[in-house]
Amino acid sequence: MTIEYDKDLTELTTFKVPAKAAIYAEYEDEKDLLKLSRTPEFIDNEYLHIGSGSNLLFLNKFKGIVLHSRIKGISKYIKDKETVFVMAGAGEKWTDLVEWCISNGIAGLENMAGIPGEVGASAVQNVGAYGAEAGDFIHSVVCFDVMSRKKVILKHDECRFSYRDSIFKKKANGRLIVMQVSYKLRLGTKALNLKYAPLKEFADKLGRTPSTRELAEEVVRLRDSKLPNPAEIGSAGSFFKNPEPNKYFFEQEIVPRGNDIPTYPSGEEGKVKLSGAWLIDHAGLKGTKIGGAEVWPKQPLVIANTGNATGKEVAELAKHIIDTVKVKYGIELHPEVNYIDSSIKVTFFGTGTSKGIPEIGCTCHTCMSTDPKDKRLRASVLVETHGMKILIDASPDLRQQALRHGLSQIDAVLLTHQHYDHVGGIDDVRPFCFERDLPIYTNHQTAKDLRNRVDYCFREHPYPGVPKLDLQEIECQPFLINGLKVTPIEVMHGNLPIYGYRIGDFAYVTDAKTIAESEKEKLRDLDVLVLNCLRTHTPHFAHLILPEALALIDELKPKRCYLTHACHMLGRHEEVAKLLPAGVEYAYDGEVITINDER
């Protein structure tokens, strides 16, 4: 086991954009990994596991610990005359495994020759090419559970493989580290899969079924003809996934626009598969550049680093591609690449209490204000980090908030509690559910309430077009969203226990009256705390008022604090701002704050 500090990772990623980690560690075997998991470097930091860095885009320095496996070894077990199981260490190069299989007369992986990366990533990413996916052959995966610190083995069905996806990218992301992968393959030297058109044409030219080696060589030739040479030009291979929208949405919303978009069979019922390359090409984006980043002319799914590109330039080009395709075709492209971004951007969608400001029919000093900062929708924020957009609370004003801020992506929703001013806009998330069920994280009581409130979303045969929600009940302990650690904080809203949330050095707490000492510990050492503050003086049984909020801020000592969830009795923005100490601000709708923005 080796541990390094302030490690330059630039040459450890295929993009070759500037990349750094506060801590870097390599391990040789399970014992090494167990020992590493008990070190302060691991316990006190978020971790990121990398293989050959082929699916990572670093936007700034990773503040935690980066792990890399050096678990090696390839072995085989022949079951019968046709079947053979091959076990490989996660740290083996994928191309070496494919070559080993071909040299040992084992067929199955030849269609995936030339894919960069390591064996561990084949299970995590469910890598694939030319009509084959690793998940088609994976029999089991040996993992290390970082929470129990024990070895676990997942069988094929438990891995939940789908297009470029697996349980290791979802619920197990950040908990399970892949150590070894077992593949169920076939003995033989003849290629097994010629479904992909160029490979069938290759076989027709030969006049026979190609050998595994011949097919692998043809696959590598095809890859080289389309993709940039990794020795000369950095890239992550395909940057975007091929979209698989809901069939109903595609037929009702996209086809009527008159775009003759070709479709392909999807592996999932009720969906259609589209070609991301076709969409980018026909949107006129081939060869488009931002700085040193370019849409590769021979394969528009690829973004290449053609001249000392930064992560920011690659991300800007990716956004330009996504926005352009969305405008022209109504289809949202999603990156296959993982953004590594310790920075956090928070946008206040709403900062008002349950009635908003102005209140209907009220003619008070605050409600009559003409200052835009005194116009407050119901409380909600959008958190952007690690390439994801996470909405905290779906207020009844969500549609208006989404349109105001041009919201076109939500990756997950965190709900603090079940009161209407925090969940009343849940039906408005339907535009973000066309390609998958939108993950909703909340406690048991709120989940139960939602199932009753919007029961039409959870019926066995829902009406076409209703929001498709993946309702995930959480306990008051850390959980992961695509590897991002989220820590719930239980606070008391009068007699009702509800959740606040901490993400990195940012925390959001609303509708609190009291917080237990054990939960306060989760709010220490914050860069930014967003805290509810209902009004100035008159006490409230379920909400903090200004003196109570300021006392709590003084106790927790965040570097910055923003007050939210205010009613008209707190006063006008300009008046309240004068009452606040240094480091405390009265948030307003549309305000944007950034944390750890070290680009």
And the tokens for 137? Answer: 């052959």
Which region, left, alpha or beta, applies to residue 466 given φ > 0 means left and ψ of -120 to 50 means alpha? beta
Q: Which amino acids are annotated catalytic?
A: 164, 238, 336
Residue with tokens 């704050």: 593
How many Cβ atoms sit within 10 Å of the Cβ of residue 225? Answer: 9
And the tokens for 392? Answer: 């905290």
And the tokens for 210? Answer: 């190609």
User: In angstroms, rounded to a whole number, what is the distance separating the alpha carbons of residues 89 and 75?
Assistant: 9
Measured between its terminal Cα atoms, the distance across the chain in Å is 30
Which region, left, alpha or beta, applies to residue 393 given φ > 0 means left and ψ of -120 to 50 means alpha? left
User: In angstroms, rounded to a whole number, what is the distance separating the alpha carbons of residues 206 and 195?
Assistant: 16
In the beta sheet, which residues pair with residue 8?
Answer: 20
402 Cβ contact list (under 8 Å, min separation 6): 428
Cβ density class 90-121: b for 16+ within 10 Å, e for less: bbbbbbebbbbbbeeebbbbbbbbbbbbbbbb
Find, among 412, 365, 432, the residue nearest to 569 by Cα. Answer: 365
H-helix segments, 38-172:
40-43, 94-103, 119-125
Q: How many residues does the chain have?
A: 599
In the beta sheet, which residues pair with residue 529?
Answer: 507, 561
CB of 173 closer than 8 Å to CB of 482: yes
